[in-house]
A and B are shown apart, each in its own frame.
Chain A
Amino acid sequence: MRACPTQAIRVRQGKAEILEDRCIDCGECARACPHKAIIPQTNSFTDFSRFKYTVALPSPVLYGHFRKDILPATILAGLRKIGFDDACDVACASEAVSIAIDGYLDSYRGPLPLVSPFCPTVVRLIQARYPNLIDLLIPIDSPMEIAAREVRHRKMEELGLRRDEIGVIYLTPCPAKIVAIKYPPRKAVSHIDGVIAIADIYYLLLSAIAEMKNGPYADVNPVGGSGLGWPVLGGQLSFLRPESSLPVGGLHDVERILHEIENGKLGDIQYVECHACPEGCCGGLLTVDNRYLSRSKILNLVARFGSTPCQDREKIRELYRDNYFSLPGEIPSRPFTLLDKDIPRAIEKRKRIQETFEELPQIDCGACGAPTCQSFAEDVVLQRAALEDCLALKARQAHTTASP
């Protein structure tokens, strides 16, 4: 309950409930739950029988999950072995998106800094708490969507299949991406048909790779380029514009930076790369490896293969100018709790919340089922809870009536 950074959890009759409006899909609750009772919804293999042809698109985070001599090409081969008809690299699309962002920054003339739109939790946080910053989110599509769109078109041509006969399955490092695929914030339709957690497929894949002789696969279509660095904090743009980009990880620090931007600061920075997870996507909830181990392996891959570009920069720049990467549609603001649509009544309610809060013991004991006395006061005024639920207040009242 206390692990939730947006105070979205209430405990009622011994069970945790999530206030949907306040949830930003960060997964902190699932990390903290001692009983592992909070499980994000993903798909399993059987869900994909309706497709004639399936393609796995692993988040490049997966590449940081194996021994150093097991290279991305082998991991993709392993995915084919466990049942996907094909498996395609996403890091190459990441490199293209980096070049597209670079192009966007070159032509952009509005207020700075701009904010990366690729962590869905950060986007949701901005929708809820920083609506002023929505226009700073770069309108460029994510590597997973670009890669999904490309692979589907390629397979439709190559195999003569219909759009709906091909299932593009993303292997995700975090629950927030699942929500972003199901409900894209700009109301566009996702190009991804299903999602599997890296953690759910890892063991199967590991066994398949162990059975494979590493040899021939590693040399076929080697995966390279700066996109390999995307899973690590700073991987999106630091290599292109190290002096004017600012990578920030962890919700607490992200909030502080967003707050500064809202106050009109940080105008000397062009691009703020924000991640809910402290080390970037390699620290996602649905990964297996420790985030630092994974980070170290990713950086190792970048050191070995990162400098071999997989994209032609000029060609990507041209595609960018043709709006190949752009994402139309607006992101709406989605405030957490609306006290009241009517401002005078909202002021009145906020005043009552303050008065209620001042009556409370302010020890944040949590016995009422709300994480803080402040959130409990809000619950009382919005009639989600009754003042009697506060045990400390009850005890104090009992005490005063017993001894006049």
Chain B
Amino acid sequence: MPEEPLFVQRFEIGGRDFRNAGKASTTAKAILKEIGIHPAVIRRAAIAAYEAEMNVVLYARKGIMEIRVSPKDIQIRLEDEGDGIADVELAMQEGYSTASDEIREMGFGAGLGLPNIKKNADSFHIHSVVGKGTTLEITVLL
């Protein structure tokens, strides 16, 4: 069987780097549009990627986002180095946030990021180690 075509691209994300915040997910979205994936699918993948990217910018030291596009699905993987999440179950609840006043001041930290990713993904895994970092695996089916 011939190998399935697979498009892979990695992006580096800097913590607190507001100058470039959102660039990785914007570029990823543009690529999905070029490939010609259905707009509704792109929308879900882009929102998930954006929220995940902003989590790294807002809460972690740095991170990597990798996007893999196959004829079946879009996989977005984020690995960050940061404080990690002590109670993942709590963090998944809408409205829960550990954001500082400063972050809330900027219009973030409403506690909607992770639930929003889950809502837009077909499968979503989160793994976090306190003091080390968090890994997200997001899949959106085509």
User: Are both chains from one complex?
Assistant: yes
Q: Mark A residues whose CB is within 8 Å of B.
A: 129, 131-132, 259, 262-264, 333, 335, 337-341, 343-348, 350-351, 353-354
Compute how far the CA of A131 lies from the CA of B33 in the bound complex, rounded to whole angstroms: 10
Mask, B1-18, CB within 8 Å of A = 1, is: 000111111000000000
Is the CB–CB distance between B39 and A337 below 8 Å? no
Q: Is the interface of B mostly helix, strand, loop or mixed?
A: helix
Q: Mark B residues whose CB is within 8 Å of A.
A: 4-9, 25-26, 29, 31, 33-37, 39-40, 42-43, 46-47, 50, 69-71, 116, 142
Is the CB–CB distance between A259 and B5 below 8 Å? no
Is the CB–CB distance between B7 and A343 below 8 Å? no
Q: Which of A263, A338, A347 interacts with B6 by CB under 8 Å?
A: A347
Residue of B nearest to A344 (CB): B71
Q: Which of B29, B46, B71 interacts with A347 by CB under 8 Å?
A: B71
Check A263/B34 contact, CB under 8 A, given A343-B71, A345-B5. no
A to B CB contacts below 8 Å, 29 in the list:
A131-B39, A132-B39, A132-B43, A259-B26, A262-B43, A263-B46, A263-B50, A264-B47, A335-B33, A337-B34, A338-B36, A339-B35, A341-B36, A343-B36, A344-B4, A344-B5, A345-B5, A346-B34, A346-B35, A347-B6, A347-B69, A347-B70, A347-B71, A348-B5, A350-B7, A351-B6, A353-B34, A354-B7, A354-B9
Compute how far the CA of A335 lies from the CA of B35 in the bound complex, rounded to whole angstroms: 11
Q: Which of A129, A263, A344 interacts with B33 by CB under 8 Å?
A: A129
- Tell me how many residue pairs across A and B have CB atoms closer than 8 Å: 59
Compute how far the CA of A350 lies from the CA of B5 in the bound complex, rounded to whole angstroms: 10
Residue of A nearest to B40 (CB): A132
Among B36, B37, B50, the one with the most A-chain Cβ atoms within 10 Å of its Cβ is B36
How far, in Å, is B5 (CB) from chain A's closest CB? 4
Residue of B nearest to A353 (CB): B34
Residue of B nearest to A348 (CB): B5
Q: Which of B31, B35, B116 interacts with A343 by CB under 8 Å?
A: B35
Q: Which of B9, B29, B39, B50 interacts with A333 by CB under 8 Å?
A: B39
How far, in Å, is B58 (CB) from chain A's closest CB? 15
Is the CB–CB distance between A351 and B7 below 8 Å? yes
How far, in Å, is A267 (CB) from chain B's closest CB? 12
